Amino acid sequence: MKIVVGNEKEISALIAEDFIKVINEKEKPVIGLATGTSPLQVYADLIKANKEGRVSFKNVTTFNLDEYVGLDGTHNQSYRYFMNENLFNHIDIDKANTNVLLGVGDYQKFMHEYDDMIAKAGGIDIQILGIGSDGHIAFNEPNTPFDSLTHETELTAQTIKDNSRLFNDISEVPTRAVTMGLKSIMNAKKIVLIATGKNKAQAVYGLIKGPITESMPCSILQKHPDCTIYVDEDAYSLVGNK
Ligand code: GLP
């Protein structure tokens, strides 16, 4: 596990370069994408690089980590909407090649097909992750089995509280989600995780220093052969001080 400490702008620019490198090297790149506020600057940097002609998404296939159950892709808090607004609408990607789990309709059927779809596309070449304050990655909450594939899950009270800042009221936050599993994530060939801010410090400590335990889902990343953790000083503060 490699660790890079810098401010949000610096680490986002480095992650964008990691993506650009993989996309430019591969004939049919497959990239794994995340939602949340953490990757926003990375996506802004990728949009800029695309407009400058430094990278093209014409041959890129994407897979997103997760989606809320009950939200249609047109809902402004759905992860499909987030991805369209913050990345896909601004780059030269074919939307047919963008895959986001469904939250309504026959979403369970799609969820069960998801890992096979990723495998058929050749596997994820590079996956970006954020991290929850309780150590979740995607929506793999504490005590999710390490061998989990894409599945439906219940969100913890902590996650619902954390994510309520983006909704009008906490009562509007869905209580269930569909998410790639920990095994699905570990199958990615390369992983980059971004964490900023003091409220991520405990999770980042568990991620880097903690025992590998299902009660701290992100700790499994210690076993990944090509994983880089990008953090700012605040998120890194407990690791740096202990
Ligand atoms: C949600 C997402 C995660 C994300 C986390 C942190 O729970 N499912 O993928 O990592 O939020 O979000 P933020 O980056 O906004 O702190």
**Are 151 and 178 in contact, with CB atoms under 8 Å apart?**
yes
**Listed ranges 45-49, 155-159, 165-169; the one with the highest mean pLDDT:** 45-49
Selection from 36, 54, 30, 49 nearest residue 120 by Cα: 30
Q: Which helix (H) or strand (E) holds 47?
A: helix 40-51
Task: Please tell me the distance between residue 25's alpha carbon and the centre of ligand 1 in angstroms.
Answer: 29
Q: Which helix (H) or strand (E) holds 80?
A: helix 79-86
185 Cβ closer than 6 Å to some ligand 1 atom: no
Task: Please tell me the distance between residue 19's alpha carbon and the centre of ligand 1 in angstroms.
Answer: 19
On the 0-12 / 13-18 / 19+ scale of CB atoms within 10 A, 218 is buried
Has residue 148 got a pLDDT over 70?
Answer: yes
36 Cβ closer than 6 Å to some ligand 1 atom: yes
Tokens in use for 5? 């400490």
Residue 241: pLDDT band with limits 50, 70, 90: low
Has residue 242 got a pLDDT over 80?
Answer: no
Nearest CA to ligand 1 atom 10: 130
Nearest CA to ligand 1 atom 5: 132
Tokens in use for 177? 């989600």
37 Cβ closer than 6 Å to some ligand 1 atom: yes
Nearest CA to ligand 1 atom 3: 138
State the Cα–Cα distance between residues 235 and 66, nearest whole angstrom.
23
Task: Please tell me the distance between residue 16's alpha carbon and the centre of ligand 1 in angstroms.
Answer: 18
Percent of the chain residues past pLDDT 70, beyond the cut: 99
Mean pLDDT of 196-224: 97
Catalytic residue positions?
66, 134, 136, 141
pTM metric for this prediction:
0.97
